[in-house]
Chains A and B, each alone.
Chain A
Amino acid sequence: MTGLDFRPVFARLPFLLGGVGVTVLIAGLAFVFGLLLAVGLAVVRFENQGGWRRLSRSYSTALTNTPQLSQIFAVFYCLPLMGLMVSPFLSVVIGMTLNAAAYLADILGAGMARVPPVYHEVALTLGLNRRQTYLRVILPYAGRTMFPALANHFQIMILGSAMASIFGVEDLTGRAYDIGSTTFRILEVMLVTGGLYAVLSFALTGVFALCRRTMERIV
Chain B
Amino acid sequence: MRANWNSLLLGFCAVSGALWGGGAGARDSAAIRASGHINIGVEPGLPPLGEYDDHNELVGYDVDIGREIARGMGVEPRFVTLSSSGRIPYLMAGKVDIVLGGLTLTPGRAEVIAFSRPLYSEQFAVITPEDRGITSFTDLESGAHRLIEVRGSTAVAYLQQRVPKAPMLLLESYADAIRALAQGRGDAMVDVIEYVGHYLPSQPQVHWRIIRGFAPPVGDDCIGMTRQDVALRADVNRILDAMEHDRRLEQIHRRWFDPAVAERAP
Contact = CB atoms under 8 A, between A and B. Distances in A.
The answer to whether any beta carbons of A and B sit under 8 Å apart in the complex is yes
Contacts of B185: 80, 85, 87-88
A144 B188 CA distance: 50
Contact of B171 (A168, A178, A180, A186): A168
Nearest to A170: B170
Given A1-B92, A184-B89, A168 B25 contact: no
Interface string B156-199: 00000000000001111000100100011100000000000000
B38 interface: no
Interface string A11-52: 000000000000000000000000000000000000000000
A181 interface: yes
Contacts of A186: 86, 89, 92-93
Interface in A175-193: 177-178, 180-181, 184-187
A3 B169 CA distance: 32
Given A88-B169, A168-B169, A168-B170, A1 B26 contact: yes
B23 A168 contact: no
A180 B184 contact: no
A2 interface: yes
Contacts of B121: none
Given A77-B179, A88-B185, A184-B88, A1 B226 contact: yes
A166 B172 contact: yes
Given A168-B151, A177-B151, A1 B22 contact: yes
B14 to A, nearest CB: 14
Contact of A80 (B20, B23, B183): B183
A4 interface: yes
Interface in B215-258: 226-228
Nearest to B182: A80
Interface residues of A, number: 20
Given A180-B85, A180-B89, A168 B172 contact: yes
Contacts of B228: 1
A186 B183 CA distance: 31
- Among A87, A168, A186, max chain B CB count under 10 A is at A168
A85 B151 CA distance: 22
Contacts, number: 60
Contacts of B86: 181, 186
Contacts of A167: 171
Interface residues of B, number: 30
- Among B23, B170, B171, B227, max chain A CB count under 10 A is at B170
A119 B184 CA distance: 53
B61 to A, nearest CB: 23
Nearest to A79: B183
B21 interface: yes
B85 A177 contact: yes
Contacts of B93: 186-187
A185 B92 CA distance: 8
B19 interface: yes
B112 interface: yes
Interface string B12-24: 0000000111110
- Among A77, A85, A180, A184, max chain B CB count under 10 A is at A184
B94 interface: yes
A1 B94 contact: yes
Contact of A184 (B92, B171, B179, B184): B92
A166 B20 CA distance: 30
A1 B93 CA distance: 8
B82 to A, nearest CB: 11
A178 B86 CA distance: 10
B76 to A, nearest CB: 24
Interface of A: 1-4, 77, 80, 85, 87-88, 166-168, 177-178, 180-181, 184-187
22 contacts: A1-B23, A1-B25, A1-B92, A2-B22, A3-B21, A4-B19, A77-B179, A80-B183, A85-B185, A87-B185, A88-B185, A166-B172, A168-B169, A168-B170, A168-B171, A168-B172, A168-B176, A181-B152, A184-B88, A184-B112, A185-B89, A187-B89
Given A3-B23, A4-B19, 7 more contacts: A1-B22, A88-B169, A88-B185, A168-B169, A180-B89, A181-B86, A186-B92
